[in-house]
Structure 1
Amino acid sequence: MAIDVDWARKELANFLQLTELYRPPDPPGVVSFSSHLSTRGSSKDIVASAQVVEQILDRVLPRWRTEVPDNHNKTINRWYQHIEAVQRADVVLARDAEVRAGLGDDAPQLSAAVMHPWVWDGARALWGSGHYREAVTAAAKKVNAEAQNKVSRRDLNETKLFQNTFSLSDPKPGEPRLRLMADDGSDTYRSLHRGTMAFAEGCYAGIRNPNTHEDGLPELPEREALEQLAAFSVLARWVDTASLEAV
């Protein structure tokens, strides 16, 4: 689902307003020379706003926790990193289309945040810290686990699991099948399920296994890692939407 830009920008603006620093007025009849500054909002309101804002930032700037400085002015305002990240995210939301058009690149953008939830939920934590290869591996494990859950099997993993569950043979006791369409005897039915088995094998043999077993590999470029996540997102949607046939 695409992000609601107007809603997101309102939430970001509200956070900036709550965290704005100001010098409280002196009580009547008292003159203070203190330089103490306070936030406009209460700690409770700021924390509540931050809970929403952090989710927006994770969508708009997935690496904000590592790329936005967090070691400046924290003694003045503990929300310094959030504030700068919010300011950056607001610019992205407001001007992303304009910037891409101005740079001559207004092609659709690939975002991990809009991939299948199994994939992004598995990858999110590692992705945010720049561990892209490990993030893809975590997403692969998540898709495998969800497929196991759907067919209630723990005895098969990865390639063998998908070969069995998308097999064209009828289900057997303890061996349910996943179906992407009703068996109408057509070439389309056979092609779709054979293709899913082959695609799953490619994902795990060609992506997951090298990422896991090859020591000393350099970190994946972010763009390449996104493409790999997208492959697992396709597989995840097939598994999620497939109907279960069991005996």
Structure 2
Amino acid sequence: MEQILDRVLPDWRSVEWEEAKRQPMWRHREAAHRAIALLEAEQELQENLGSGAPQLDASTLHSWVWGSVQGLWSSGHFREAVGAAARAVNAQAQAKLERRDASEAKLLSDAFSTNPPTPGHPRLRLCENDGGDTFKNRHDGAGNFARGVYAAIRNPIAHEEDEELEENEALEQLAAFSILARWVDSAAVVKAS
């Protein structure tokens, strides 16, 4: 209960309320009543005045991403969480492809290549090659996307000492790595015969 009160009414332990005589745990009781009223009012406002826009629940991100960042996220280390997600996706891709000679953008660009696999260079296949544009577009797009998220998101986080990311920006970046993780996870590995 105290954890809920800490989140809803952060100053509940020290705020000046009139003390109820001969009531054990009066502060807890008062804080609970106030927290319930506040939560009900917030819910009513959201229902009546909210934007109606969908909201992204971080727990629905791919497990490689959210599972690797929960602790960092809950402590407000958003920048480090995004970096950890990038490293987790890379590690899972290396394991799936059984490759340690390449990483990140280079690894995934090669893995999503539409070229046939060669010894030491297995491919990730999101769909069967039926000779149509869909096969080429999906794999070229996935390879370009991987290059993009590692170049534009992971590299600045790893190489620039900057301020902490805003929570919403970091969540968007985690969502990008979640998309990539889903593609890598769901793709079939095709090796040279």
TM-score (norm 2): 0.79
Q: CA deviation at 1:100?
A: 2.3
Q: CA deviation at 1:235?
A: 0.4
Structure 1 residues 102, 166: closer, same or farther in 2, change over 3 A? Answer: same
Deviations 1:138-190 (A, max 9, x none): 00100010111111111111010001111111111221110000000111110
Aligned match of 2:59 = 113
Give distance in 2, aligned partners of 1:68 and 1:142.
35
Cross-structure match for 2:124: 178
> Residue 135 of structure 1: CA displacement?
0.4
1:95 CA drift (Å): 8.2
Query: Which of these residues, 123, 137, 155, is aligned with residue 209 of structure 1?
Result: 155
Q: Count residues with an aligned counterpart.
A: 175
The separation in 2 between residues aligned to 1:68 and 1:146, in whole angstroms, is 40
Cα pair 1:166 1:194 within 8 Å, conserved: yes
1:175-216 Cα distance to aligned partner (Å, 9 max, x none): 11100000001111101100001100110000001011101x
RMSD, matched Cα = 3.1
CA distance in 2, matches of 1:70, 1:173: 62
Equivalent position to 1:227, from 151, 167, 172: 172
Instruction: Please give the residue correspondences for 1:76-225 in structure 2 after superposition, counting only pairs within 5 Å.
Output: 98-215=44-161, 217-225=162-170
Mapped pair 1:237 → 2:182: yes
Aligned sequence identity (%): 49
Higher RCO, 1 or 2 (CA under 8 Å, sep at least 6)? 2
Match of residue 21 from structure 2 = none
**1:112 Cα deviation from its structure 2 partner:** 1.2
SS of the residue corresponding to residue 130 of structure 1 reads coil
User: What residue in structure 1 maps to residue 17 of structure 2?
Assistant: none
Q: Secondary structure of 1:244's match?
A: strand
Opposite residue 74 of structure 2, the aligned amino acid is G
Contact 1:132 1:222 in 2 (8 A): yes
